[in-house]
Structures are given as C-alpha cells and as structure tokens.
C-alpha cells in the first residue's frame, strides 16, 4: 500500500450532539453526546489507515489537551508528527437533528507562534521523502494566512509528491493558485471560488472543467444528495449515492477524499474508484464518524451507487463559460 501524509493545521475536538428538533431560545434535551479527536486531515488519515495505507499525521496541535489525539493515533496506527503549540486545540460542536440537518458551531483555533510554523515547514521537508501523496485539509488558525497554506502546497510539489487539497474560502483560492494535483470542494465552496452561484449540475461541471484546464489534474465536487462529480483530463464522471438513513454528515467529505485517493493510488479504473468512494461516503452518514469499508452491507452500497459519464461537448455555451 501507499505512504501518505495528512496535514491538519487547525484540528478540533468534535462534540457530536444528537437532539430532537431544536427549539431556539429554549431548553433542549440531548439524545446522545460524544467527544472525538478530529479535524479533516485526521479524519482522512483514519480512513486511509483502515484501508491498509501507511499514514503519517502532522500539522499544529494544542499541547494542553492532546491526550485524546495521542490515544487515537496509537489506536489507529497513525504516525504522529504534529508540531505542538501552546494552549488548547479548539472544540467544535456538531448538532444533529432527526431530519438529518447538522448545525456546526466551530471555534477559531489557537494563535500559532511563528516558530511553530517554521518548525512545521522543516518537519515537512523531512517527511516528504518516499511519500506517494500528501493531503492538506481543513481551515486555518486565526493567524495562519492563505498564502502560507499555498506555500505548503508548493513545497510538496517541489519534491514531486502529489498533493490533494480540501479547504474553503480564501484558503481555497490561494491553494488553487499553487496548483495542487487534486481538489475537493463542495458545491458552495466551488461557487465561492467561481464568484457566482452554481445552481445546476451543468454550471458545476463548467466550473470544474475550468479548474481542470488551469492545471489541476483531479477536480472532485461533492454535492450532497445530488452526488459526486469527478473531472480529469477534460472528461467527467458523475456518481449518484445510494439512499441511506442519515444520522450525521460530519466526516462524509473526508471519507470521500480518502476513498478517492485510495482508488487513484491503487490504480483502479476511474469508475471503480468513484463508485467505491461515493459508497463509502454514503456509509459514513449512517452514523457518527468516518466511513467503514468493513460494513456488512458495503458491497451492496457499491452496487446501488450509479456512475455515469457526462458529455462535456454537449454543454450549452461551451465548456469554460
């Protein structure tokens, strides 16, 4: 299997809360609560390790509440290369209601000393030897700039290691300018980058093709219940997820990234990789946490995942409008 590094600059302890329908301004009773070490890159790493890859996790981690993270890394067989910073890693609250709606209350994260960022850059140099891929995921701490994120993308590319990016806002814009090998925006993040609403599948396809034409090899767009779009080399595939009961969508996008990268690194045909990753993301929303390829019905989920080719030439108004 492959050797992979995930970078999480702003990890979090995720407080997952299941409730009945929320009544704002009133007392609400919880059905369940759990606190898990998380962050997008850590979620990706958990899935990839479960698929048999050798995974190193790095980034910036608060020293004052690291215990749950260290325990997770040990339990999941993840190599811990995080730089510790003063203070606590943030806590994010995820409120899940019976209809599947999830409300995120995300903290900003700690301020990062300049010496910690320098230490991360130096550690990255030592970690890149022999890697097959790097995944950079998640938001930025308050005083880490989008340009610094782009610098990390360029540093990985300078060593000729493929780099996958999953972030949003200004960080996504700056990261895209550094030309990662792959990017995984959701439909809103893609629209924010494009500068206008993308309300149809055709509009999302045009935007993805623009990124592809600008030098990003793999563009993967997650659109919730509308499925997943994958553009490579000017050719497009779309997947429709199987219908499942939704408990929590937290971690579904990270599961999709891990599943897609697994298929690419395994050399699978594109249809097989997209079907696998889409089904794995669907499996993940049935419970709190990331997708489990060992689920008893995972083969059935793959069989119920529809993958089809899209005709790029038939797009009205051209492919890059």
* For range 46-65, the mean pLDDT: 97
How wide is the angle at C-alpha 84 spanned by C-alphas 80 and 85, nearest 5°?
155
pLDDT at 303: 97
Domain 1-180 CATH (choose: 3.40.640.10, 2.60.200.20, 3.40.1190.20, 3.40.605.10)? 3.40.1190.20
- CATH 3.40.1190.20 residue ranges in the chain? 1-180, 183-321
Write the DSSP string, 16-43.
EEEESS--TTS---EEEEEEEEE-HHHH
Map residue 144 onto helix, strand or coil: coil
- pLDDT above 90 coverage of the chain, percent: 84
pLDDT at 21: 92
Query: What is the enclosing helix (H) or strand (E) of 114?
Result: helix 114-127
User: How many residues make up the chain in this entry?
Assistant: 321
* pLDDT tens track for 96-137: 888 878 888 998 999 999 999 999 999 999 999 999 999 999
Q: Active-site residue 254, yes or no?
A: yes
Q: How confident is the model at residue 317 (pLDDT cuts 50, 70, 90)?
A: low
Q: Give the burial class of 208: count Cβ atoms within 10 A of its Cβ; 0-12 exposed, 13-18 middle, 19 or more buried.
A: buried
Residue 94 is predicted with a pLDDT of 87
Among residues 80, 254, 292, 297, the one annotated as catalytic is 254
Confidence of residue 320 (pLDDT cuts 50, 70, 90): very low
Mean pLDDT of 298-302: 97
Provide the strand spans (E) within 26-110. Answer: 30-38, 54-62, 79-80, 83-85, 90-96, 102-105
For 183-321, CATH number? 3.40.1190.20
């Amino acid at each position: 299997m492959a050797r992979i590094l995930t970078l999480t600059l702003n990890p979090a302890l995720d407080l997952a809360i299941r409730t009945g329908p929320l009544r704002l301004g009133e007392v609400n009773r919880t059905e369940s609560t759990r606190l898990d070490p998380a962050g997008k890159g850590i979620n990706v790493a958990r899935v990839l390790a479960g698929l048999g890859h050798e995974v190193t996790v790095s980034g910036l981690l608060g020293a004052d509440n690291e215990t749950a993270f260290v325990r997770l890394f040990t339990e999941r067989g993840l190599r811990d290369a995080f730089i510790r910073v003063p203070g606590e890693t943030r806590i994010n609250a995820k409120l899940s209601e019976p209809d599947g709606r999830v409300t995120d209350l995300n903290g900003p994260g700690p301020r990062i000393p300049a010496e910690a960022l320098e230490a991360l850059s130096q550690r990255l140099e030592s970690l890149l030897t022999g890697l097959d891929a790097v995944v950079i995921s998640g938001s930025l701490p308050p005083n880490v700039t989008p340009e610094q994120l782009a610098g990390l993308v360029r540093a990985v590319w300078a060593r000729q290691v493929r780099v996958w990016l999953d972030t949003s806002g200004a960080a996504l814009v700056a990261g895209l300018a550094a030309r990662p090998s792959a990017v995984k925006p959701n439909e809103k993040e893609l629209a924010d980058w494009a500068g206008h609403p993308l309300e149809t599948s055709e509009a999302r396809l045009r935007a993805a093709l623009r990124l592809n034409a600008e030098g990003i090899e793999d563009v993967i767009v997650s659109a919730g219940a509308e499925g997943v779009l994958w553009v490579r080399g000017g050719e497009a595939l779309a997947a429709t997820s199987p219908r499942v009961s939704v408990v929590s969508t937290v971690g579904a996008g990270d599961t999709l990234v891990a599943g897609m990268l697994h298929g690419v690194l395994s050399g699978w045909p594109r249809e097989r990789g997209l079907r696998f990753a889409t089904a794995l993301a669907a499996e993940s929303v049935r419970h709190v946490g990331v997708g489990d390829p060992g689920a008893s019905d995972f083969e059935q989920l793959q069989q119920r995942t529809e993958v089809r080719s899209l005709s790029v030439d038939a797009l009205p108004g051209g492919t890059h409008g």
